Homo-oligomer: A and B are copies of this chain.
Amino acid sequence: MTIPKQSIRRKELVASAAKLFKDNSFDRTTVRMLASAAGIKSGSLFHHFKDKEEILLAVIDDGLNKSLKAIHLETQSITQLDKKLFALIYAHLKTLHGAERDAHIVSITEWRSLSAESKKHLIALRDEYENYWQTIISEAVDMGLLIGDPSLIRLFILGSLNWSIQWFHPNKDKTIEEMAHEFYNMVVKKNTTT
């Protein structure tokens, strides 16, 4: 019994699991809850995943991959650095609070529920994401658009953006685009866009 990794059914299960993990945390989501949300019995889950953690791994892996694609897609073609930085912030927020919100929140909050081995799988992805940010931030520092240690600026910006999962509710607060503008204006030293 080998378990296929890319079946349609599996993707449905992963999406359903993401919501439960977000609402209840990984540890407080039982395999019975996961199964019943998907309309099957708990034992049947283990036809698709070798254990509970593999479900979490799938959720986070999915989330990280989509984040990476998103920032590349939305910033790569932009040459003007201030616009590129804004697009990066905007893309991060759009992804974080968009269609796959559950998965992204789980990626942030449940990282520590993963085993050391599972983390190893994902660290390369996370590093790639952070390096892309770092590159753009470094250029922005060189141009005087930002001031300070690029590493710290990256941690500072990504930290406050990710923190928005604690308080931001889509369709209730401001729009994501408005937020992106406010975030951008807060970190940038000279005002070039509005």
Contact = CB atoms under 8 A, between A and B. Distances in A.
Interface of A: 25, 27-28, 112-113, 147-149, 152-153, 155-160, 162-164, 166-167, 179, 182-183, 185-187
11 contacts: A27-B27, A147-B185, A148-B182, A148-B185, A152-B182, A152-B186, A156-B163, A156-B186, A157-B160, A160-B163, A186-B187
Chain A: interface secondary structure? helix
B162 A163 contact: yes
A166 B158 CA distance: 11
Contacts of A185: 147-148
Contacts of A163: 155-156, 158-160, 162-163
A183 B27 CA distance: 34
Q: Which of A149, A157, A160, A163 has the most CB of B within 10 A?
A: A160
A172 to B, nearest CB: 14
Contacts of A27: 25, 27-28
B183 A167 contact: no
Contacts of A187: 186-187
Q: Which 4 A-B pairs have the closest CB atoms?
A: A159-B163, A27-B27, A160-B160, A159-B160
Given A160-B156, A163-B159, A25 B186 contact: no
